[in-house]
Structure 1
């Protein structure tokens, strides 16, 4: 989700669900500790609950980065042990860490020592020629011994050699049964599932069958309303549902403030293109925003023009 789930995206998503835990893009520990790039941690208070996802493999550096994140008020610090990108591999972190569970455990222990909030892990079921049925239980056992209690498992292997990052999101087969088996074996762990779940309806059976959470990535980005608008009611039991019009009304002051401070309209509206996915007028909505938001001086009038493509009954649903 690099370059996708930035603070503008998260603010937009929060307007649709008051309860869902939101995640930052992955931020590398070296960028924070050595590069001083603390601006990557900026967020709006309305985003809570929000977790920061860190990438790294040096325990001391991850501990220092965790302390910085805690000072910024994040609700959770998550260590990424799942990203298969070449850039991540070259830094010896992300999915390649599935090969060194003891190092992951050491990193988590050092991070926990600096954090009053929970330190969690997102991982794959294995990488390359590993046998997931063997390595995943051993991995979970190792990090559990280090104090980790919450894990999100992307239910695919990552092929670090031979597949691109994009291919790693789709080609390795999903093994949901293995993730459910891990919950039965590690009943004390809070285990969420990730990978290939593209509707709210598709996620609910995982919760009904014992898992503690479902993580959405690309689906929540491309069709956010389909997944988030009903999540508070159907998942959390809260009597809360907003309409797409109310979401847009909530974005207007946020956009106006961003523009007033010298920001570009496109920086925000690029995350809003999927709001009407599958609805009449969606193509006109996307085209108007895509073409108009790039123009110099573009403002809320572009949003109004895009909304004109959407029928009132769709806006109010």
Structure 2
């Protein structure tokens, strides 16, 4: 039997809330002794804490579809804000399942609560739910953090980024790699994750037309040789060659990454831009040495990670706030 029109209308216009749990890594915490209240996208928002987890909640969504859209935007803006502040953020992207109770009073009785239990949800996963039917959240153990951060910094940064309409897939992937680098156990792994952020967002620009014409001629010659070759191994090698030289139509990865970083620093002093571009090239060179099994000193890796931890947030913020590509 289909849903009654009046029931569907009530669902669409019911108040919903979006909830994003997150935490900060590397012994960092937000100085939050009481709930921090602010406004996000014209809606009431609050930041609370449970152990080493923080709960970001926004109310006032008219219906579940708006709540889901707000949850996605809230996640994107929170990530961009944290990257801009260099905060080591960790959050889950998967939406948590809520087990709704058909009888909240009886569920409360069975679970030993005095208030009705509308449902049970994973306290560590993001969710959207009717504001007047918030479920009970289930948590595991907590960890104590040490370095305290100002909650007003986060809400102010989120407010500054609230005009962010959406996060494209490439930027989302780069953000995920950026925040994952905080959890990696070695500097080398962190360096590679940070460089992948830049590779994901690199400027794919073509070489001059004369280069493209030359590459196309090489490809034709390689394919023609493959057609006349008899041995399967030779045919395969020539076809691979034709495919490989095709990449030469584009500028090198190093140049593409330098171009990306240069644009992110274009609004600052030229000396700062030049230093950032040079550092990006050096970091990518070190990444290439590591990928090809060459020996790289611990100090070189440390310096590269330190430089990338400054470069990558700047690039992420530039991509997030730049006009649509």
The TM-score with structure 1 as length reference comes to: 0.23
The higher-RCO structure (CA 8 Å, 6+ apart) is 2
Relative to its length, the structure with more helix (as a share) is 2
Larger radius of gyration: 2
